[in-house]
Copies of this chain bind each other. A is one copy, B any other.
């Protein structure tokens, strides 16, 4: 395999430019946030993986000039009130929750409890709806920028870094001619990601356990929104067919047992895994031109970037 020209690219090298950008911006905000903006993370489960992730986000934050406060909630039932407290507390700039908490639809309820103004992960319904409709601002005067859900945004930024986005093409069209497979159609990451890529001009095959859908940019649709077409029930053959001419394969299957079949990957495709589990076998390196095994470090950069945008929005709102 070592004679193959492909390369593995780590999220840490991709996030570098963002880390610099963010650190610089924090410096320029010293007048309004002398000690750095404050991010509060809520941990209400006993999952050691979540605990580790929480500690890691804390360290990352602090290394970049943010303040971070982890609030442990012993009784899940009290989490909602704790979030509302943080919503009301003017000293808190950003809020994130380590999910899953209840592991069911109640978690979707909780996501919407975080106030839109402090929702650094971009999980508020307004942010998703703006994303699907290519709406960039929260207000009619275009003073307050909308933010994007941080995991799908991270994948977009990775594709930009990897030059899959071609910046010779006009903005909003830089994936024109590209085909992408996205294995995951969750409301949190997979479906928004497919829409983002389609909105930028790509043809996207969105795959889940039930079926495969094709997302394209809707031509002449009123709300400049992507179009979706059902290609049929999921089958290995249909997936193989979609992969045959795809430039990009993005996986996000939340299972330790899932492996994307290496032999479906077109020679030279770009492969990205955003699942916390390893969705590609090591043999992916024999096929992929560029392989990104995990995206977490870019995601946290996007989260902190969102946070600075929210701080700017609050500042503007105070001045209005």
- Chain A residues with CB under 8 Å of chain B are 77, 80-81, 84, 105-106, 108-109, 112-113, 125, 128-129, 132, 186-187, 191, 221-223, 225, 227-228
Contact = CB atoms under 8 A, between A and B. Distances in A.
24 contacts: A77-B227, A77-B228, A80-B132, A80-B225, A81-B221, A81-B222, A81-B223, A81-B225, A84-B223, A105-B108, A105-B186, A105-B187, A106-B187, A106-B191, A108-B108, A108-B187, A109-B125, A109-B128, A109-B187, A112-B112, A112-B125, A112-B129, A113-B129, A125-B125
A1 B125 CA distance: 52
Given A80-B225, A109-B125, 10 more contacts: A77-B227, A81-B222, A81-B225, A105-B186, A105-B187, A106-B187, A108-B187, A109-B128, A112-B125, A125-B125
A198 to B, nearest CB: 12
A105 B210 CA distance: 14
A109 B187 CA distance: 8
Nearest to A222: B81
A132 B125 CA distance: 19
Contacts of A81: 221-223, 225
Contacts of A105: 108, 186-187
Nearest to A108: B108
Contacts of A125: 109, 112, 125
